[in-house]
């Protein structure tokens, strides 16, 4: 595992010497997951009632599996509140690809969590816009997110904040980009079955988290990762906003890191 050199800040924040995000290039996706889980476990150990933001998709799997190991080694996760990034609109309750169900399979059951401690945005008979505003308030009422886990879309999205999303966006109803629907078609019978809309935390909501951890693996993510970390900070690549966060760690496998500028992939 290699990482670009870091300076400890007074808060112990993770940033490289030049202010760019701390990038860990691990030997494998499993190792990248372990690095991220170690950081999340550290936050929980320090604050057992932490608010931990969680993500869905394939990338977080190794993180959740490594968290199970932390729990087996004695980490108490019973008082943590878990907050999801996003949820599709239009899937019936209990649909296997709804993010509530994905989190139940990938996080709640393996970690033995109380499902009531896992918040997922849900329209649940309300106007989706109202449900989104309520979700934003619930996060604020919790005192904000202590550490937010992120994946990244092949088009540079985080959560479901697609290219063009304003940086000051809050939790809201959003449309999925066609590329995202094609990417996520692997979870559905066809791309036409992927919902068109979702509720997602906004970019400003995500940036309000005290710490960010982003994980990506596979060469399919390499261009998005390089644009997000090495390119300009622009709404055209929503993930590039993480460059402005004071405490962000990015964990990659070698394939996801293959197009990173040299200065970041040391
Ligand atoms: C979805 C989610 C994102 C996730 C992204 C990447 O669209 N809304 O939060 O980061 O896909 O998913 P994967 O990790 O499966 O590539």
Per-residue pLDDT tens over the stretch 19-49: 677 999 999 999 999 999 999 999 999 999 9
Which pLDDT value is given to residue 158? 98
Ligand 1 near 159 CB (within 6 A):
yes
Q: Extract the tokens encoding 206.
A: 């995500």
Residue 10 has pLDDT above 50, yes or no: no
Residue 266: pLDDT band with limits 50, 70, 90: low
Question: What's the gap between Cα 80 and its chain centre?
Answer: 17
Residue 11 has pLDDT above 70, yes or no: no
Ligand 1 near 156 CB (within 6 A):
no
Range in 17-21, 55-59, 139-143, 241-245 the model is least confident about: 17-21
Ligand 1 near 3 CB (within 6 A):
no
Q: Are 190 and 182 in contact (CB under 8 A)?
A: no
Which pLDDT value is given to residue 8? 36
Q: Best of 32, 36, 54, 57 to mutate for ligand 1, by most ligand atoms within 8 A of CB?
A: 57
Buried b (16+ CB within 10 A) or exposed e, 127-141: ebeebbbebbeebee
Distance CA 245, CA 139 (A): 19
Residue 2 has pLDDT above 70, yes or no: no
Ligand 1 near 85 CB (within 6 A):
yes
Q: Nearest to residue 231, comparing CAs of 240, 219, 220, 239? A: 240
Q: Best of 151, 158, 163 to mutate for ligand 1, by most ligand atoms within 8 A of CB?
A: 151
Q: Extract the tokens encoding 244.
A: 């402005």
Residue 5 has pLDDT above 50, yes or no: no
Which pLDDT value is given to residue 29? 98
Mean predicted confidence (pLDDT) in 40-59: 97
**CA 56 to ligand 1 centroid distance, Å:** 6
Q: Extract the tokens encoding 208.
A: 């309000």
Residue 148 has pLDDT above 90, yes or no: yes
**CA 149 to ligand 1 centroid distance, Å:** 11
Q: Are 224 and 155 in contact (CB under 8 A)?
A: yes
Mean predicted confidence (pLDDT) in 156-181: 98
Which pLDDT value is given to residue 96? 97
Residue 16: pLDDT band with limits 50, 70, 90: low
Q: Are 243 and 156 in contact (CB under 8 A)?
A: no
Ligand 1 atom, smallest distance to 216 CA:
14
Buried b (16+ CB within 10 A) or exposed e, 178-189: eebbebbeeebe
Which pLDDT value is given to residue 31? 98
Mean predicted confidence (pLDDT) in 83-91: 97
Q: 116 by DSSP, 3-state: which? A: helix
Residue 50 has pLDDT above 70, yes or no: yes
Distance CA 164, CA 168 (A): 12
**Residue 249 bridge partners (DSSP):** 22, 213
Distance CA 102, CA 228 (A): 26
User: Which distant-in-sequence residues (6+ apart) come within 8 Å of 4 by Cβ?
Assistant: 16, 17, 20, 22, 23, 263, 264, 265, 266
Q: Extract the tokens encoding 236.
A: 């055209």
Which pLDDT value is given to residue 14? 65
């Amino acid at each position: 595992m290699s990482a670009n050199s870091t300076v400890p800040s007074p808060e112990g924040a993770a940033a490289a010497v030049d202010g760019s995000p701390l990038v860990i290039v691990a030997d494998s996706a499993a190792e990248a997951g372990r690095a991220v889980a170690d950081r999340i476990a550290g936050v929980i150990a320090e604050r057992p009632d932490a608010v931990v933001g969680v993500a869905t998709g394939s990338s977080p799997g190794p993180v959740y599996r490594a968290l199970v190991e932390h729990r087996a080694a004695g980490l108490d996760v019973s008082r943590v509140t878990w907050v999801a990034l996003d949820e599709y609109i239009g899937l019936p309750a209990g649909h296997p690809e709804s993010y509530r169900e994905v989190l139940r399979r990938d996080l709640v059951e393996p970690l033995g969590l109380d499902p009531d401690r896992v918040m997922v945005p849900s329209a649940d008979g309300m106007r989706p816009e109202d449900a989104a505003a309520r979700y934003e308030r619930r996060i604020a009422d919790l005192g904000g997110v202590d550490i937010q886990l992120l994946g990244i879309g092949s088009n540079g999205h985080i959560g479901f904040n697609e290219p063009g999303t304003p940086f000051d966006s809050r939790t809201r109803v959003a449309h999925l980009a066609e590329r995202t629907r094609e990417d996520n078609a692997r979870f559905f019978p066809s791309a036409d079955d992927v919902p068109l809309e979702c509720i997602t935390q906004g970019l400003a909501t995500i940036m309000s988290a005290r710490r960010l951890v982003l994980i990506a693996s596979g060469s399919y993510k390499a261009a998005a990762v390089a644009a997000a970390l090495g390119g300009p900070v622009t709404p055209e690549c929503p993930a590039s906003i993480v460059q402005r966060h004071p405490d962000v760690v990015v964990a990659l496998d070698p394939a996801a890191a293959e197009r990173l500028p040299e200065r970041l992939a040391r």
